């Protein structure tokens, strides 16, 4: 069976909503990373662009980004929306098309701008009535099984008796790892003069303890420190066929497999556990075999629960800090995990394995496994 390879991967810095990227559309962030990965590889052509996006409000931001980046007008592009899973699912879809022989070169990933996301309103039911604003669309047909992600995470913390203190400690460690990361520059393409993530900081337990509870109880509740900040960013990867990979002078990372899973919509944080277990079973790999694990830290408790349920060594997970220290640009977050894995695996070599996993509203989870060259 044919293989799919990643030969280049870049992301923009991640900037909090209303921050340094406040005036930059998601498509322009996407164009920046398209140009970056094309500059890292000598490509004969690009067959397709596939980007995840969750907040655009319609249209086809992947196509806009491709045209803005200067790709040939004959290059098709489409956008997909599985909310937080979008970026990782775009990579999975690209790999499937390459393995099937339908394409040789696909640029895939995710792009998102919380800052420039449109204001959402429902049309009035009757003429003359005002439109009704809303923050999030429904993700299930059942109101009692469609919790806000924040509320679902708070319920998970309560059900598992994960203390606020333990969540705070996890967030402090995520920021510590990110603040001391000396390798982050290799994965970032600068945008608007910025070449570092804008939210990473030195965080202390005392500072966390002073923050008010956003959801849940005082004993197990979530705060701003243990919830990833809304953010703007884009990430892109070049997924290519055996033929193209064999001519690449740079690193080649093999995509071993990908998995998408559904789970109880009222417990969306645990959906990645199902996706990862299915992927490990299908590839014959054990949790102990994975050298680098990137789990999305939408909430500290969500990442903690996934690590515990899957039996990963915590020292192997988010080794250079996670989204709590970076931010959560919904449709791009999964692709950002994959970009980091690409660079870590390329640096290590030796056939090392890496895995990325992420949850989404509606009870969805996605996972992707990669392997470095021997």
Report the chain's mean pLDDT, rounded to a whole number.
97
| Percent of the chain topping pLDDT 90 | 97
Per DSSP, the three-state class of 355 is strand
Instruction: Out of 84, 85, 108, 208, pick the active-site residue.
Output: 84
Q: Is 328 a catalytic residue?
A: yes
Quick: pLDDT tens for 19-68.
999 999 999 999 999 999 999 998 889 999 999 999 988 899 999 999 99
HSE, CB side, 13 Å, CA atoms: give it for residue 194: 21
72: which 2 tokens?
């040939």
Burial profile 193-229: b = 16 or more Cβ within 10 angstroms, e = fewer:
ebeebbbbeebeeeebeebeebbbeeebbbbebbbbb
- The pLDDT score that the predictor gives to residue 58 is 85
- The pLDDT score that the predictor gives to residue 44 is 84
Instruction: Out of 85, 175, 306, 328, pick the active-site residue.
Output: 328
Is the pLDDT reported for residue 1 higher than 80? no
* Residues in Cβ contact with 341 at an 8 Å cutoff, skipping those fewer than 6 apart: 253, 292, 294, 354, 355, 356, 368, 370
Is the pLDDT reported for residue 361 higher than 80? yes
Is the pLDDT reported for residue 326 higher than 80? yes
Report the pLDDT averaged over residues 86-101.
98
Distance, first Cα to last Cα, the chain: 19
- The pLDDT score that the predictor gives to residue 374 is 84
Concatenating the DSSP letter of every residue in 301-341 gives: HHHHHHHHHHT--GGGBSTT--GGGT-B-HHHHHHHHHHHH
Q: CA 230, CA 343: separation in Å to the nearest integer?
A: 25
262: which 2 tokens?
């559904």
Q: Is 343 a catalytic residue?
A: no
pTM over 0.85: yes
- The pLDDT score that the predictor gives to residue 127 is 93
CA distances, 193 to each of 34, 40, 197, 269 (Å)? 17, 20, 12, 35
Q: Domains in the chain, start-ordered, CATH in brackets?
A: 5-116+228-371 (3.40.47.10)
Predicted confidence band of residue 141 (pLDDT cuts 50, 70, 90): very high
């Amino acid at each position: 069976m044919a293989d799919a390879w990643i030969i280049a991967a870049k992301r923009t810095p991640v900037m909090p909503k209303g921050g340094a990227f406040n005036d930059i559309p998601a498509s322009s962030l996407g164009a920046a990373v398209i140009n970056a990965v094309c500059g890292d590889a000598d490509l004969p052509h690009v067959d397709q662009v596939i980007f995840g996006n969750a907040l655009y409000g319609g249209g086809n931001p992947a196509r806009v980004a491709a045209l803005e980046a200067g790709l040939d007008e004959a290059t098709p592009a489409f956008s997909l929306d599985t909310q937080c899973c979008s970026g990782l699912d775009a990579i999975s879809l690209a790999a499937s098309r390459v393995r099937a022989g339908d394409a040789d070169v696909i640029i895939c990933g995710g792009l998102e701008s919380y800052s420039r996301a449109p204001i959402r309103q429902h049309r009035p039911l009757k003429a003359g009535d005002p439109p009704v604003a809303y923050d999030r669309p429904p993700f299930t047909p059942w109101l009692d099984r469609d919790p806000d992600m924040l509320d679902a995470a708070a319920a998970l913390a309560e059900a598992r008796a994960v203390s606020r203190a333990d969540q705070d400690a996890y967030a402090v460690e995520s920021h510590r790892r990110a603040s001391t990361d000396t390798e982050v520059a290799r994965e970032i393409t600068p945008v608007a003069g910025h070449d570092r993530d804008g939210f990473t900081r030195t965080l202390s337990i005392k500072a966390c303890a002073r923050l008010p509870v956003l959801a849940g109880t005082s004993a197990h509740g979530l705060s701003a420190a243990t919830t990833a900040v809304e953010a703007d960013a884009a990430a892109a990867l070049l997924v290519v066929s055996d033929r193209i990979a064999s001519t690449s002078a740079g690193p080649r990372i093999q995509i071993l497999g990908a998995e998408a899973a559904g789970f109880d919509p009222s417990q969306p944080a645990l959906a990645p556990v199902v996706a990862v277990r299915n992927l490990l079973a299908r590839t014959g790999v054990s949790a102990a075999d994975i050298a680098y694990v990137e789990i999305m830290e939408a909430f500290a408790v969500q990442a903690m629960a996934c690590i515990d349920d899957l039996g990963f060594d915590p020292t192997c997970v988010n080794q250079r800090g996670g989204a709590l220290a970076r931010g959560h640009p919904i449709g791009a977050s999964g692709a950002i995990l994959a970009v980091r894995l690409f660079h870590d695996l390329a640096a290590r070599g030796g056939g090392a394995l890496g895995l990325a996993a992420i949850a989404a509203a509606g009870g969805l989870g996605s996972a992707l496994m990669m392997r470095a060259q021997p």
